[in-house]
């Protein structure tokens, strides 16, 4: 980050002197091959047209103008006109001081500039326990919240409770069916019901709590079962999410939205803006005008409103709460729903205010064999079971190591293994190794050096330089992860950092080094441990002191 900022400032100065405009598409980044130097810039190629000169000639001019910079050791021109910069070691030493001074806040940036963002995720129907697929969305959403906060956004995490629709009636019916069955009544199995064992438990409890339940009018009994079941299941969901380290600031009920008349308000707004119309006894949203394939029904001819209707009202409500950006995290099987929701947001006057992230399927395996999952049929591996078996850290790291929009094989036996197939331990081990080393050092009466030019200059191996440069990149990765809403970038950075640490550990012995060298190395390793902890924190994964 410092290297990038330094170059950007310097280059902007040079360009201003030359009377050239700063090209928007300029990229300052570490080159793929470290042999090219520390930072590579494509600005001369970008300027070619504007300046009316070939890229390499421009590069020559820029290079000449920057030769007096004492922090830069070497500038090369390569390929079609890349400028490759190598910084002086003295520049990299300062990284230690920067990290020390920042402490826990290292990697924080003001990129988000206080933009108010809402991230809505998980939002599973309260009709059964969360399964492993929900876990992926939970890990992603929670990590994204942490990352965006780190990057300077003001973020609120929300869970939307779908407690108003037909699924809830089915839940109520399922519980009542089991209750009657438990009471020994002769009952016919409904064709559409939740078959999970948990329904029986709820049925037993709801009968205890409501003595006359089975004598009531059926609709009334279903309502009682529904509300009771919703309460129990939602409580279970909250417990499971807490155990998974997932935070939601607001639990928003669909039912409350309907009860407050918000859906009707939305209908009225749509009529006013000419985006709603009556036809065939139903009320429609004219979404085709905003890019959708077909118009969508909001109120059916039987008078019921659709799920989409309350979803529009819900998003209207979100925007009215003042969020600049609303992020929805959905299962990938809902991708067909995006165009109509986008259209709805545009109709609400919030074009561009919604961003949808899709989370693809999780293929749950055990020793390579698929494990069946279906809430309705009652066969699933719940999130709780998985977390109990393989641990929250391993599960989260697994989920967050891949792009969200690609399918994921989650093999319980593999995730549980403490092997190289399982990078979470590789990264955690880097942290534990440093902690362990610190303890040993303390026993030997050695401690980390205070900052000072003499100590810093002892960090003079190529391994020191490699480490310092990577540490400097951490804030860039946080920004990139926030900008592209991709927590997996943090995961990959951490694997790189852990690898660099293990290499350092093998090549730069600490305890056997001279006292002042040992102290300098302990100081550097302290920074490394801090960044590992910091990054794992963004993923919601612990950084153990011992392993």
Partner RNA sequence: GCGCCAGUAGCUCAGUUGGAUAGAGCAUCGGCCUUCUAAGCCGACGGCCGGGGGUUCGAAUCCUCCCUGGCGCACCA
Quick check: 528 and 501 in contact, CB under 8 A?
Answer: yes
For position 282 contacting RNA by CB under 7 A, the verdict is yes
DSSP conformation class of 189 = P
Segment (H or E) for 41: strand 39-41
Q: How far apart, in whole angstroms, are the C-alpha atoms of residue 348 and residue 276?
A: 12
Q: Which stretch binds RNA (CB under 7 A): 138-146, 186-194, 432-440, 531-539?
A: 432-440
Question: CB 447 → RNA: shortest distance, Å?
Answer: 13
Could you say which residues in the range 178-217 bind RNA, by CB under 7 A?
Answer: none
Residue closer to RNA, measured from CB, 25 or 272:
25
Query: Does 423 sit near RNA (CB under 7 A)?
Result: yes
Q: Does 52 sit near RNA (CB under 7 A)? A: no
Both tokens of 187, joined, read 């009952």
Token couple for 17: 């002197």
Asked if 432 and 547 touch (Cβ cutoff 8 Å), the reply is yes
For residue 182, the minimal CB distance to RNA (Å) is 27
Kindly report the number of other CB atoms within 10 A of residue 407's CB atom.
10
179 versus 343: smaller Cβ distance to RNA? 343
Position among 361, 371, 451, 465 found at the interface with RNA (CB under 7 A): 361
Cβ atoms of 28 and 41 closer than 8 Å: yes
Question: Vertex 451, ends 449 and 454: CA angle to 5°?
Answer: 85
Q: Is 54 in the site for RNA (CB under 7 A)?
A: no
Closer by beta carbon to RNA, 18 or else 403: 403
Separation of alpha carbons 513 and 455, rounded Å:
13
Of 280 and 367, which CB lies nearer to RNA in the complex structure? 280
Smaller CB separation from RNA, 68 or 302: 302
* Per-residue tokens: 321: 């709460």
Q: Interface residues for RNA in 284-343 (CB under 7 A)? A: 293-294, 296-297, 300-302, 304, 306-308, 332-337
Rounded to whole angstroms, the Cα distance separating 434 from 526 reads 8
Decide if residue 252 touches RNA (CB under 7 A). Answer: no
By CB under 7 A, residue 406 contacts RNA: yes
Q: Which letter does DSSP use for residue 303 in this model?
A: S
Of 51, 75, 82, 535, the one binding RNA by CB under 7 A: 82
Task: Kindly tell me which of 143 and 360 has the beta carbon lying closer to RNA.
Answer: 360
Which token pair is 315? 């998003």
Q: For residue 406, what is the DSSP state? A: S
Q: How far apart are CB 278 and RNA at their closest, in Å?
A: 10
> Whole-number minimum distance, CB 448 to RNA, in Å?
13
Binding-site member from 74, 407, 452, 515 for RNA (CB under 7 A): 407
455 makes contact with RNA (CB under 7 A): no
Contacts of 481 (CB under 8 A, 6+ apart): 147, 151, 487, 488, 489, 490, 538
Is position 165 an interface residue for RNA (rule: CB under 7 A)?
yes
* 18-37 positions binding RNA, by CB under 7 A: 25, 27, 29-33, 35-36
Do 202 and 229 form a contact (C-beta atoms < 8 A)? yes
Whether residue 525 contacts residue 437, with contact meaning beta carbons closer than 8 Å, is answered with yes
Contact by Cβ (8 Å): 489, 432: no
Q: List Cα–Cα distances, 117 to 123, 283, 319, 354, in angstroms.
A: 17, 32, 10, 10
| CB closer to RNA out of 119 and 494 | 494
Q: How far is the CB of 186 from RNA (least distance, A)?
A: 29
Rounded Cα distance between 350 and 348, Å, is 6
Residues in binding contact with RNA, number by CB under 7 A: 89
Closer to RNA by CB, 213 or 266: give it.
Answer: 266
**Residue 523: which of 462, 474, 454 has the closest Cα?**
454
Nearer to RNA, 33 or 191 (CB): 33
Least Cβ distance, residue 283 to RNA (angstroms): 9
Q: How far is the CB of 73 from RNA (least distance, A)?
A: 16
Name the one range near RNA by CB under 7 A: 98-106, 128-136, 321-329, 417-425.
417-425
Specify which residues 279 forms β-bridges with: 282
Residues 477-536 that bind RNA (CB under 7 A): 480, 484, 486, 488-489, 492, 495, 499, 502-503, 505-512
Which residue's CB is nearer to RNA, number 334 or number 351?
Answer: 334
Q: How far apart are the first and last CA of the chain?
A: 32
Q: How far is the CB of 70 from RNA (least distance, A)?
A: 23
Q: Does 375 bind RNA (CB under 7 A)?
A: no
Q: Minimum distance from CB of 303 to RNA (Å)? A: 9
Edge-to-edge order in the sheet of strand 362-366: 369-370, 362-366, 408-411
Q: Does 42 bind RNA (CB under 7 A)?
A: yes
Q: Identify the helix (H) or strand (E) that includes residue 518.
A: helix 515-539
Q: Quick check: 123 binds RNA (CB under 7 A)? A: no
- 3-class secondary-structure state, position 134: helix
Q: In the complex with RNA, which residue's Cβ is closer, 163 or 207?
A: 163
* Residues in region 124-143 near RNA by CB under 7 A: 125
Is 17 or 33 the residue whose CB approaches RNA more closely?
33
């Amino acid at each position: 980050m410092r290297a990038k900022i330094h170059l950007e400032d310097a280059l902007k100065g040079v360009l201003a002197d030359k009377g050239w405009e700063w090209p928007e598409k300029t990229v300052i980044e570490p080159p793929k091959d470290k042999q090219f130097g520390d930072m590579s810039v494509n600005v001369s190629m970008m300027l070619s047209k504007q300046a009316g000169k070939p890229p390499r000639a421009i590069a020559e001019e820029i290079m000449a103008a920057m030769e007096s910079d004492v922090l830069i050791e070497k500038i090369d021109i390569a390929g079609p006109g890349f400028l490759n910069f190598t910084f002086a070691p003295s520049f990299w030493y300062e990284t230690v001081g920067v990290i020390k001074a920042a402490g826990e806040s290292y990697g924080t940036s003001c990129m988000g500039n206080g933009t108010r963002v809402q991230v809505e995720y998980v939002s599973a129907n309260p009709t059964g326990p969360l399964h492993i697929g929900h876990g992926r969305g939970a890990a992603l959403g929670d990590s994204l919240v942490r990352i965006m906060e780190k990057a300077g956004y003001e973020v609120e995490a929300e869970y939307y409770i779908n407690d108003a629709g037909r699924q809830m009636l089915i839940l109520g019916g399922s519980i009542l069916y089991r209750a009657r069955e438990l009471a020994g009544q002769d009952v016919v199995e409904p064709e559409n019901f939740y078959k999970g064992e948990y329904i029986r438990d709820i049925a037993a409890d709801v009968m205890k709590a409501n003595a006359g339940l089975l004598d009531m009018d059926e609709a009334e009994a279903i309502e009682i079962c529904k509300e009771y079941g919703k309460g129990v299941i939602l409580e279970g969901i909250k417990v499971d999410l807490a155990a998974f380290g997932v935070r939601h600031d607001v639990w928003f009920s669909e039912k409350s939205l309907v009860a407050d008349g918000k859906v009707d308000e939305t209908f009225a707004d749509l009529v006013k803006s000419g985006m709603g119309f009556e036809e065939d006894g139903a009320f429609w949203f004219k979404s085709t005008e905003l890019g959708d394939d077909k118009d969508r029904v909001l109120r059916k001819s039987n008078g019921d409103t659709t799920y989409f209707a309350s979803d529009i009202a819900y998003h209207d409500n979100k925007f009215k709460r003042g969020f600049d950006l609303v992020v929805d995290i959905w299962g990938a099987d809902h991708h067909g729903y995006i165009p109509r929701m986008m259209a709805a947001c545009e109709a609400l006057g919030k074009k561009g205010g919604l961003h949808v992230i899709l989370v693809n399927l999780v293929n749950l395996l055990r020793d390579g064999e698929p494990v069946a999952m279906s809430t309705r049929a009652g066969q699933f591996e719940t999130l709780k079971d998985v977390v109990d078996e393989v641990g929250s850290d391993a599960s989260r790291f697994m989920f967050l190591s891949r792009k969200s929009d690609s399918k994921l094989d989650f093999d319980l036996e593999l995730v549980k293994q403490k092997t190289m197939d399982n990078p979470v331990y590789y990264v955690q081990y880097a942290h534990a190794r440093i902690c362990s080393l610190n303890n040993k050092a303390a026993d030997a009466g050695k401690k980390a050096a205070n900052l000072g030019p003499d100590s810093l200059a002892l960090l003079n191996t190529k391994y020191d330089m490699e480490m310092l440069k990577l540490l400097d990149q951490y804030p860039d990765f946080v920004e990139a992860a926030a900008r592209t809403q991709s927590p997996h970038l943090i995961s990959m950075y951490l694997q790189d950092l852990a690898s660099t640490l293990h290499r350092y550990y093998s090549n730069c012995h600490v305890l056997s080094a001279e006292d002042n060298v040992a102290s300098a190395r302990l100081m550097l390793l302290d920074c490394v441990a801090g960044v590992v902890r910091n990054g794992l924190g963004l993923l919601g994964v612990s950084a153990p002191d011992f392993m």
